[in-house]
Amino acid sequence: MGQYDRGGADSGSMFSHVDLRLNEAHSARMYDFYLGGKTNYGADREAAGRVAKAYPGIFVCARENRAFMHRATRMLALRGIRQWLDIGTGIPTQPNLHEVAQKVAPDAHVVYVDNDPIVLAHAQALLASTAQGRTSYIQADVNEPESILESPKLRETLDFGRPVALSLNALMHFVPDAQDPYGIVNRFMSALPSGSALALSHCTPEFDPAAWDQVTRIYTNAGTAVQFRGRDEVEKFFSGLDLVEPGIVVGHRWRPDPADADEDREEPTDAQVSLWAGVGIKP
Ligand SMILES: C[S@@+](CC[C@H](N)C(=O)[O-])C[C@H]1O[C@@H](n2cnc3c(N)ncnc32)[C@H](O)[C@@H]1O
């Protein structure tokens, strides 16, 4: 079993003796592998390798998911949002959400939440805020909204009297229907004032059901419950919100930015991306 103790001056209870459970595959470290990161171990690479064999598009999917997060965050910052609650943050990958937001709005405040101990172990990279802005990290489970909403760290960092963007990127497919995913998102959105936003991306089996069947089995056998959903089911997460143009679309079609275009890279297919993405605003 791996343990992580940062030690040193920045060591607090948050960082000491984190059990990394290196002998099990973890979704955060598998995702890090898809993104070409270095924070993954044998069990993660083995499971991620099986996913890539069943669904070679996974690397494109991960990259496009991250690119959607960048564009959605930038768009919301340009619309005037200054506060984010990002749940299912993942292992720090530059640029992190607060870096994207603070590039537009240096005074942006961001609260990160993840339930994986490896993210906690690397959370220091998420805390490097601008002087005008602020970031904090909470280790918690999205299935327990009250523990997040009542966290003193959240209340110290975000002002719930002003709009907040709830960012749930590639998270809700880890919450099967039996755990009431729609009730959970609703609980968070009901705590936020008018003008708040939901930015959400979600993997879908619709473009290649056979491959996603295998992906579902690989995650389930590795001990991670998943439920990949179709467009109609993803749309339900946005009920009661006003969708921002172009609505819910395959990730790479959500407000593509010509500045990101790479001449050497072909336009990905919907099956490669396999991700529904959208942003809704609370009226
Ligand atoms: C695929 S990664 C997405 C990372 C990042 N949001 C992005 O889009 O680039 C999913 C993240 O959700 C986290 N996660 C999974 N289930 C969770 C839960 N029940 N509560 C909180 N975080 C969870 C995992 O640990 C992982 O870091």
The stretch 210-219 carries a mean pLDDT of: 97
Atom of ligand 1 nearest to the CA of 116: 25
For ligand 1, the distance from its centroid to the CA atom of residue 168, given in whole angstroms, is 8
Cα(152)–Cα(273) distance, integer angstroms: 37
Residue whose CA is closest, atom 4 of ligand 1? 90
Average pLDDT of the residues of the chain: 92
Cα(30)–Cα(198) distance, integer angstroms: 25
Q: What is the dihedral of CA 110, 114, 118, 119, to 10 degrees?
A: -10
Burial of 264 (0-12, 13-18, 19+ CB in 10 A): exposed
The stretch 80-88 carries a mean pLDDT of: 98
Residue whose CA is closest, atom 7 of ligand 1? 169
The stretch 21-42 carries a mean pLDDT of: 93
Q: Is the backbone peptide bond immediately before 163 cis, with ω within 30 degrees of 0?
A: no
pLDDT at residue 250 greater than cutoff 50:
yes
The stretch 118-140 carries a mean pLDDT of: 92
Cα(204)–Cα(212) distance, integer angstroms: 8
pLDDT at 10: 32
The stretch 9-30 carries a mean pLDDT of: 68
Residue whose CA is closest, atom 12 of ligand 1? 88
pLDDT at 18: 65
Atom of ligand 1 nearest to the CA of 68: 8
Let me know: does 277 contact 250? Beta carbons within 8 Å: yes
Cα(76)–Cα(167) distance, integer angstroms: 11
pLDDT at residue 2 greater than cutoff 50:
no
Let me know: does 46 contact 24? Beta carbons within 8 Å: no
pLDDT at 22: 80
Among 18-32, 84-98, 171-185, the minimum mean pLDDT is found in 18-32
Let me know: does 29 contact 119? Beta carbons within 8 Å: no
Q: Is the CB of 119 under 6 A from ligand 1?
A: yes
Residue 266 confidence class, pLDDT cut points 50, 70, 90: confident
pLDDT at residue 252 greater than cutoff 80:
yes
pLDDT at 92: 94
pLDDT at residue 201 greater than cutoff 90:
yes
pLDDT at residue 62 greater than cutoff 80:
yes
Q: At what angle do helices 42-54 and 58-78 cross, to 10 degrees?
A: 100
Name the pTM for this structure. 0.93
The stretch 251-274 carries a mean pLDDT of: 88
pLDDT at 17: 60
pLDDT at 144: 98
Residue 21 confidence class, pLDDT cut points 50, 70, 90: confident
Cα(186)–Cα(200) distance, integer angstroms: 13
Atom of ligand 1 nearest to the CA of 66: 9
Q: Is the CB of 202 under 6 A from ligand 1?
A: no
The stretch 41-54 carries a mean pLDDT of: 96
pLDDT at residue 6 greater than cutoff 50:
no
Q: Which residue reads 């506060």 in tokens?
A: 83
The stretch 96-125 carries a mean pLDDT of: 94
- Give φ, ψ of 247 to 5 degrees: 80, -150
pLDDT at residue 40 greater than cutoff 60:
yes
pLDDT at 205: 98
pLDDT at residue 11 greater than cutoff 60:
no
